[in-house]
Copies of this chain bind each other. A is one copy, B any other.
Amino acid sequence: MLQNDLLLRTLRKEKVERPPVWLMRQAGRILPQYREVRASVDGFISLVTNPKLAAEVTIQPVDELNVDAAIIFSDILVIPEAMGLPYEMIPGKGPFFPKTIQGASDVADLVYGDEAAQRLGYVFEAIKETKKGLQNRVPLIGFSGAPWTLMSYMLEGQGSKTFSKAKAFLYRHPVEAEMLLDKLTETIIAYLKLKIAAGVDVVQVFDSWSGVLDQDIYRKYMIPRLRQIKEAITEVPVIFFSKGAWFALEELAAINPDAIGLDWNIPIDVARQKLGHDQVVQGNLDPCKLYATPEEVKNYTLKMLEGFGPNHIANLGHGVYPDTQLDTVKSFVNTVKGYKY
């Protein structure tokens, strides 16, 4: 069906000719086409909730960069919104929740599971639009935030350096924290299943703030929920990206994800030592390396490809930064596309 199924073959551990390549946040401000669409609407959330435009910006990097996968343009914070905590996106500042979780009754009040997920019709519409527009050129990735990362925002109300409010909730209200994590897990599963029903070929779970936790906490509260998600999603491959959770890589691998995303902190040899060469991994060039010249980016990329060897999906170790020059992004993508195992 798919004209380019390199990502899917890699996720199935088939022998492939080269690594597939895509970039986290590829549908975004690095593209002039995106900035044009973005300027035509009133705010980021208007774009997220508009299926036609969300599909358009999702497809842009496939056209412009020739990447091997599209990832649906959306935001991880649509889940808290569907559960009853709407967010705003404050320009130059980031997400903000006027209402946050303060205690047990707020957790009890949350809508969750299928009921919450059903509220996100605009995402599923965007997926259907995108699939139509892609015309089977490349696979489409759907995504969700992980329970901990979503919980963080629901407690903090915004980004944080320490996430000490969210972590304090874990220590001071462990029962309510587990209840919240469970409601989130159920919602994430329902949401991913509806995304799959709408047409995504792969899903990725972003645990963007796992790096503020320690091994004991991640092991006790988060790993079991990630396992629950993996076990529930049997329809398509699942990629886990737990940023900063180098201390939990072996435990993540034990969940048996189809791929594990890696940030740039993890030296490649350490990652392979921890995970072995059979584990499909994704990443992990520092997005800041794209501030170098296109020629230097080529060298950094080749070094990464050589380092990982097979069972690798080429990507950055985090979302591409909005002020990255397009020529270095293209150097990254084209270096991977010109590579041969």
> Chain A residues in contact with chain B, CB under 8 A?
159, 161-162, 164, 167-168, 170-172, 211, 214-215, 217, 244, 246-247, 264-267, 270, 286-289, 291-292, 296, 318, 321, 323
Contact = CB atoms under 8 A, between A and B. Distances in A.
A159 B162 CA distance: 13
A288 B161 contact: no
Contacts of A215: 265, 267
The 6 closest A-B pairs by CB, nearest first: A167-B288, A168-B291, A171-B292, A171-B291, A215-B267, A214-B264
A270 B288 contact: no
Interface hub of A246, A291, A321, A323 (most chain B Cβ within 10 A) = A291
Contact of A291 (B172, B217, B291): B172
B214 A286 contact: yes
Given A162-B321, A214-B265, A264-B214, A171 B247 contact: no
B321 A289 contact: no
Contacts of A247: 246, 265-267, 270
A195 B270 CA distance: 39
Contacts of A161: 159, 161
Given A162-B318, A247-B267, 7 more contacts: A164-B287, A167-B286, A170-B288, A214-B286, A217-B286, A246-B246, A247-B266
A264 to B, nearest CB: 5
A225 to B, nearest CB: 19
A288 B171 contact: yes
24 contacts: A159-B161, A161-B161, A162-B321, A164-B291, A164-B321, A164-B323, A168-B288, A170-B288, A171-B288, A171-B289, A171-B296, A211-B265, A214-B264, A214-B265, A214-B267, A214-B286, A215-B265, A215-B267, A217-B286, A244-B265, A246-B246, A246-B247, A246-B265, A247-B265
Contacts of A286: 167, 214, 217
B244 A164 contact: no
A217 to B, nearest CB: 8
Nearest to A248: B267
A286 B215 CA distance: 11
A288 B244 CA distance: 17
Contacts of A171: 288-289, 291-292, 296
B159 A291 contact: no
Contacts of A168: 288, 291
Contacts of A321: 162, 164
Contacts of A296: 171
Contacts of A264: 214
A280 to B, nearest CB: 21
Residue among A170, A171, A217, A244 with max Cβ neighbours from chain B (10 Å): A171
